[in-house]
Amino acid sequence: MTSVGAVTGAPSKELKVTADAALAVPITVAYGDGIGPEIMEATLRIITAGGANLALEEVSIGETVYQQGITAGIEPAAWNSLRRTKVFLKAPITTPQGGGFKSLNVTVRKTLGLFANVRPCPSYAPFVATKHPGMDVVIVRENEEDLYGGIEHRQTEDVTQCLKLITRPGSERLIRYAFEYARRYGRSKVSCFTKDNIMKLTDGLFHRVFDEVAAEYPELESEHLIVDIGAARLADTPDAFDVIVLPNLYGDIISDVAAQIAGSVGMAGSANVGTGIAMFEAIHGSAPRLAGYHLANPSGLLLGAVQMLVHIGQGEAGSRVHNAWLRTIEDGIHTPDIYDSSVSTAEVGTTDFADAVIARLGAVPNTLRAVNYPSHSEPIAVQVRSRPPARKELVGMDVFLESRAPVAELAKDLEANAGPDLKLVMISNRGQKVYPDGVPETFCVDHWRCRFQAVQPGGSVTHTQVIDLLSRLAGGGLQFIKAEGLFTFDGHAGFSLGQGQ
C-alpha cells in the first residue's frame, strides 16, 4: 500500500474554518457496525475540515442494540434525538440473522415518514472503471409503501400472501419531490417505471399520479416505461435517463443496479427525506469481513453527508468537500475496492484516503464536473393536493377460502349457501378464473377467490347482507380466510377482474 504522501497530489488551498459553535447545526450520528465506525470517523473528519458546522449527538443502533432484545435495533432514546435534530447521519449496521428482528432501515424510514429515497448514481470515468462513462442518473425511490409494509400472512397449507399498498398521497408527494428535485438541480427529464400493464390498480395509480404531476412541469420531459424494459434500457443505455422515480420494490432493485453500473455500490450515498426529518447514509452494508482493516471506502457515506450538508443549508461546505473528493478520485488516490493500476496512482486505506481528501479541500476537479451547491437552500417541500372524496358503493365481496375440493363441487356448495341477496359470479385460483367456464389444464392450489355480487345486476349490497353470507358459508363448513369488499368509486370498479374473466 502506498501512502498518500507519495502521490503527486493536487495543490490544496489552506482552509480557514470559522465554525461558530452558536450556529452549529445539531445532527444525530450513529456509527453502526462492521466498517461503520471506520467510515463514519473518516467522513466526520473530512466534513468538519471542509467547514461543516455541526453539533453531534451520538446514538446507538445495530448489533449491540439488537443484542439487548430491542427488535428494531435502535435505542429508544435515539427517537428523541432524531425528533430534536431532525437530521440523521447513519453508518451501515449488521442485520442479525434469524427471525424476530426488524429491519432498522425500514423501521426508521417508516416511523419518521422518510418518504423519498434519493440516490445519485453518476459515473466517474475514466477514473473509476465503468462501461457507461456518460451516466448521470438520480433514482428517486418511494420509501414506505408497496410490498414493504410487512403485511404478510400464511393463509392456507399452500399459500402465503404479501399485501402491496400503493396510496395516492404517498405516490403524489414522492413524484412531486422527484419533479421538484429535477427543477432545482437543472435536470431535464423525469422517467417513471411501473408494471401497470399487470397491476392495473396499484401500479396504475402510481402511473396516473405521475402523468397528473408531470403535466404541472411542462418544462421537464417526462416518460413512463414498463419496469422490465425500463430496467433493461437503464442497464444498457443509462445515458438516456436523468431522474427516475419508482415505487419501493422496483426502486430498491434498480437503484442498486444503477449504483453498480455507475462504478461501485461502495461509492453511492443516499438521502431519505421526509416532511420534517431526513436521514443520510451510504447505500452499502456493514461489510463485516472488511471491518477493522481500515481498507473500506468511505465515499458512499461521505457523499451521503454531502447531501446532508446541502439539506441543512451548508451547501458551501458541501461543495468544498464534494469537489475535494472528486479531485482525490481524479488524482487516482483510490481505496482497494476501486483500485485499478491503469488509472490509480496510489492504493490507500480509509484514513489515508480521508487525509487525501482533506489535503485537497479548496481544490476542484479538472476533468470531472465540479459541483456548486447553493450556499443556503431550503429543503425541497412538497404539498399533496386535496381532492373531493369519490362516491363509494359496496357492490359485492370476494371471499377467499381454503379447500381441496374440485372447483365444480366447491361452486355447488357456494351456490347452495349464497342466500337471497348475493350470487356467486366467479371463482378464481391464483388470479385465474376457473369457474364458470374453467379449463382442466389450469393448475390449482387450495386457495380460492369466490366473487359474490348483488343479485340485481349493478346493484349495491349492505354490510349486513355480507355478514349473513359469511355466516351461511361458515355454517355450510366452508373455511373462509378473509373477505375483501368490492367497491365502486364514482361508478368505477375499484377491483380487478379475474384473469380470463
Q: Which residues of the shown chain bind ligand NAD in the complex (CB under 6 A)? A: 35, 39, 92-95, 105, 266, 281, 284-290, 296-297, 300, 337
Nearer to ligand NAD, 227 or 287 (CB): 287
For 324, 328, 330, 331, 338, the CA distances from 10, given in Å and listed in that order, are 9, 8, 10, 7, 20
Q: Which amino acid is at 276?
A: G
Cell of 375: 450556499
Q: In the bound complex, what is the minimum distance in angstroms from residue 105's beta carbon to ligand NAD?
A: 5
Question: Is the separation of the CB atoms in 311 and 87 below 8 Å?
Answer: yes
What is d(CA 339, CA 471) in angstroms, rounded to the nearest whole number?
68
Q: In the bound complex, what is the minimum distance in angstroms from residue 143's beta carbon to ligand NAD?
A: 13
> How big, in percent rounded to 5, are the helix, strand and coil portions of the chain?
35, 25, 45
Angular region, 415: left φ>0, alpha ψ -120 to 50, beta rest = alpha
* Residue closest to ligand NAD, measured at CB: 285
Nearer to ligand NAD, 286 or 323 (CB): 286
Q: In the bound complex, what is the minimum distance in angstroms from residue 298's beta carbon to ligand NAD?
A: 7
Question: Is the separation of the CB atoms in 110 and 331 below 8 Å?
Answer: no
Nearer to ligand NAD, 336 or 419 (CB): 336
Nearer to ligand NAD, 39 or 214 (CB): 39
Q: In the bound complex, what is the minimum distance in angstroms from residue 104's beta carbon to ligand NAD?
A: 7
90-123 burial, b at 16+ Cβ within 10 Å, e below that, comes to: bbbbbbeeeeeebebbbebbbebbbbbbbbbbbb
Nearer to ligand NAD, 85 or 297 (CB): 297
Nearer to ligand NAD, 169 or 285 (CB): 285
Q: In the bound complex, what is the minimum distance in angstroms from residue 29's beta carbon to ligand NAD?
A: 14
Q: In the bound complex, what is the minimum distance in angstroms from residue 483's beta carbon to ligand NAD?
A: 37
Q: How many CB atoms lie within 10 A of CB 327?
A: 27
Contacts of the segment 438-445: beta carbons below 8 A, 24+ positions apart: 438/407, 444/407, 445/156, 445/158, 445/159
Q: In the bound complex, what is the minimum distance in angstroms from residue 96's beta carbon to ligand NAD?
A: 8
Q: In DSSP terms, which residues pair with 422 in a beta bridge?
A: 454
| Residue entry with cell 427471525 | 99
Nearer to ligand NAD, 161 or 260 (CB): 260
